[in-house]
Amino acid sequence: MLEIKNWSASEQNQSVNAIKFFYEKILMRSKEVYDLPRAKKPFQLPEVYSLKEIMKIIDAAKNL
């Protein structure tokens, strides 16, 4: 499943959870440990605004 293009980590994990739900709740099978690969969300640094951008935000405020 990890080879499917354009699927985010959340979409992949949601698919795994849907499969588990189908087998355990719909087909009433007992809970098992499924050896399904889980995707990890990529680490992203937070976006940091420059001083110029911050000044634009402050200057745009009409109600000081």
Domain assignment present for residue 26? The answer is yes
Question: Is residue 18 a part of any domain in this protein?
Answer: yes
pLDDT band at 53 (very low <50, low <70, confident <90, very high): very high
Q: Could you tell me the two tokens for 25?
A: 């709740």
Domain assignment of residue 16, yes or no: yes
Show the domain range for 14: 1-40
| Under 8 Å between Cβ of 38 and 16 | yes
Provide the number of structural domains found in the chain: 1
**Alpha-carbon distance 46 to 3, whole Å?**
27
In a domain, 61, yes or no: no
pLDDT tens for each residue of 21-47: 999 999 999 888 878 778 888 898 999
Do the domain assignments include residue 9?
yes
Q: Is the confidence at residue 17, as pLDDT, over 60? A: yes
At 7, the pLDDT band (50, 70, 90 cuts) reads: confident
H helical segments located in 2-63 = 9-21, 51-60
Instruction: Answer yes or no: is pLDDT of 2 > 60.
Output: no
